[in-house]
Structure 1
Amino acid sequence: GRRRIAPARPPRHKGTAVKRSLTGHVVTRWYRAPELILLQTNYSCAVDMWSVGCILAELLQIIEGADLSRRGPVCQGTSCFPMSPSHSRRSSNDKRDQLNIIFDLIGTPSTEETNCIADEDLRQYVQCFRVRSCTNFRERFSMATEEGLDALRRMLQFSPSNRLTVGEAIEHALLKTIRNPELESELPAPLDLDFETLPDLNFRVMRRFITSEIQKYH
C-alpha cells in the first residue's frame, strides 16, 4: 500500500518576516532528534529526517525473514531529560533515558560533533554519557538491503548537518525501483501561515485558515 509521512511536530513556515525561537517540546519522544532533546531552538527540517529514519528502522525489522520478536520503535525511551525526566536517577545514568537509548543505537557523538554544540553546558552534558560505538546495523537489521542500511545510517546521524536532506533521500538508491518522478510535484511557494501571529487566534479561526490553505493545493 501507499503511505504518506506527515511531520511529527507542529508545522513551521519558511517566512523570514517573523524572527523567533522555536519551541523544543515537539515530536513524539521516540522519534525526537538529539538536537530537540538538547533544547536547541534553531533546529531545521533535519529533525524530520531523524524521525523518518526511526520509521525506516521499524520497517527494516519487519522484512520477510526477520526476527519479529524485536520489531517496534528502536529508540523507545521511558523518560527524556530535561523535558520529562526520570525522578529516580541522573539522566546520563538512566538506561531508559531517551538520549541514552539513542546512543545505544548510533553510538556517542565524536569530539568533532560535540564541539558543534554551541552551548557549553550542553556540550558538557553530552560528554557525561558513557562512551560507546554504533550498533552493528547489519546484525540488528539482518534482512535489510545495503541500500536500506545506508539510508538508515545517513538519516540517524547525531549532527543535523550530516543527515540526508529530503532531496538526497528522494534521490537515494533505496527508492530507485519505486520512485516515479513524473508523479511528483512541489509547492510553487512556501506555505503562508502568517495567521499564526493574529492576536485573537483561537481553535476555530485556526482551523478555518488551515482548511483554506489546504484547499489551495487539493
Structure 2
Amino acid sequence: FCLPQVIGLFDVFTADLSLDKFHDFYLVMPFMGTDLGRLMKLQRLSEDKIQYLVYQMLKGLKDLKPGNLAINQDCELKILDFGLARQADSEMTGYVVTRWYRAPEVILSWMHYTQTVDIWSVGCIMAEMLQGKPLFKGSDHLNQLTEIMKVTGTPTQEFAAKLVSDDARGYVKSLPKVEKKDLHSVFSTTNPQAVAVLERMLLLDPESRVSAEEALMLPYFTEFREPEEETVPQQYDHSLDNTDQSLAQWKRHTFTEILTFKPVVPDSKETAL
C-alpha cells in the first residue's frame, strides 16, 4: 500500500501503439494546486496549519524540501519526489536551495546516514514556516555548516569520534568553539511546544535526533494524531531497479509495465480544486 502523504499514481498511459514506436508516456496524479515553497512566499502560515503540515510530513517522511511538498486547498500535503536530501554536495553542484535543508552529515559526507537525515529536513522546513524565512541559508557547503553551528554549537569530542573520515575529524576539531543557542530565545515569539519539537530535530548528532515515530508523540501534534493511520509501508523491492540492463531492455520493461498498469479510481476529494 501507499502512504497517504506520498503522491499517488492514478494512471499511466502511452499513445504509442508498439514497442518500436514507444517514446513518450504520461503519469496521472492528483491535482494539488501548489507547493509549500510557493505557499510560504505568498503568506505566513497560521499555527494550526504549521502543526498539521509538519504532522503530515512526519507521517510520510522521506527526503524533503519545500518545493517537493504539494498542498491542496484543504491543507493536505503530498510528497512529490525523493532523493535530493541525501546527496552529497559534489552531486548537487549549484543546487543551492536543496543545501539549506540537508543534514550536516550529508553536506560533508561525514558518516553513514540514518533516517534522521530526514528529521533534520523537517526541522529546517518547520523553522522556515515559523519564521517566514530559511533558518540556515548557506552560500556554499562550508558556509552552510557555519550557519548551522551558529545555532547547534560546534560538535562535541564524542561526536567527532564517530566521524568516518580522518579529514572530517581533523576539520571538526579545528573549528573555534561555539556554544549551542537556546532555541527558545531564537524563536522567542513561537509556541514553546513548537520550539520543543525543533530542539529534538535540529541536533548535530544524528543519533540524538528524535525519530519520526517519537516526534509524532510530542504534545505539539496531539490534536491531529490518528495513531491507527500512522502506518509503516511495506519495504520497496529495489532489486529490479538495481539490475544492469540495456536501454532496449529497460524500454521493453517500461512498455510492459504501462500496458499492465491497472488504473486507480480517484477519490473525488483528491482531485478537487
Task: Please report the TM-score for the alignment, with normalisation by the length of structure 2.
Answer: 0.57
Question: How far is 1:130 from its partner?
Answer: 2.2
Q: Does 1:79 align with 2:149?
A: no
CA distance in 1, matches of 2:193, 2:255: 40
Which consecutive aligned stretches of 4+ in structure 1 deviate over 4 angstroms post-superposition? 201-210
Structure-2 residue corresponding to 1:191: 236
Q: Does 1:118 align with 2:118?
A: no
Q: Matches of residues 1-218 of structure 1 in structure 2 within 5 Å?
A: 3=53, 4-5=56-57, 6-8=62-64, 9-10=82-83, 24=88, 25=91, 28-40=98-110, 42-61=112-131, 71-80=132-141, 91=142, 97-187=143-233, 189-200=234-245
Q: Relative to structure 1, is the Cα distance of residues 208 and 33 closer, same or farther in structure 2, using a 3 angstrom cutoff?
A: farther
Q: Relative to structure 1, is the Cα distance of residues 117 and 146 closer, same or farther in structure 2, using a 3 angstrom cutoff?
A: same
Q: Which amino acid aligns with 1:196?
A: D
Q: Which amino acid aligns with 1:10?
A: G
Q: Which amino acid aligns with 2:152?
A: I
After superposition, give the CA deviation of every residue in 1:122-175 in whole Å (9 maximum; x if it has no partner): 111112222111223122212222221121011111111000011111111111
CA distance in 2, matches of 1:131, 1:208: 58
Q: Relative to structure 1, is the Cα distance of residues 153 and 78 closer, same or farther in structure 2, using a 3 angstrom cutoff?
A: same
Task: Please report the TM-score for the alignment, with normalisation by the length of structure 1.
Answer: 0.70
Q: Which amino acid aligns with 2:175?
A: F
Question: How far is 1:30 from its partner?
Answer: 0.3
* Identity within the alignment, %: 29
CA distance in 2, matches of 1:30, 1:176: 29
After superposition, give the CA deviation of every residue in 1:152-206 in whole Å (9 maximum; x if it has no partner): 011111111000011111111111122122433332x211222221223769767
Q: Relative to structure 1, is the Cα distance of residues 206 and 157 closer, same or farther in structure 2, using a 3 angstrom cutoff?
A: farther
Report the structure number with the largest CA radius of gyration. Answer: 2
CA distance in 2, matches of 1:128, 1:201: 48
Q: Relative to structure 1, is the Cα distance of residues 41 and 193 closer, same or farther in structure 2, using a 3 angstrom cutoff?
A: farther
Q: Relative to structure 1, is the Cα distance of residues 186 and 145 closer, same or farther in structure 2, using a 3 angstrom cutoff?
A: same
What do you get for the CA RMSD once the two structures are aligned?
3.2
Instruction: Say which SS state the counterpart of residue 207 (structure 2) adopts.
Output: helix
CA distance in 1, matches of 2:165, 2:220: 36
Q: Which has the higher contact order (CA 8 A, sep 6+)?
A: 2
CA distance in 2, matches of 1:154, 1:51: 13
CA distance in 1, matches of 2:191, 2:209: 19
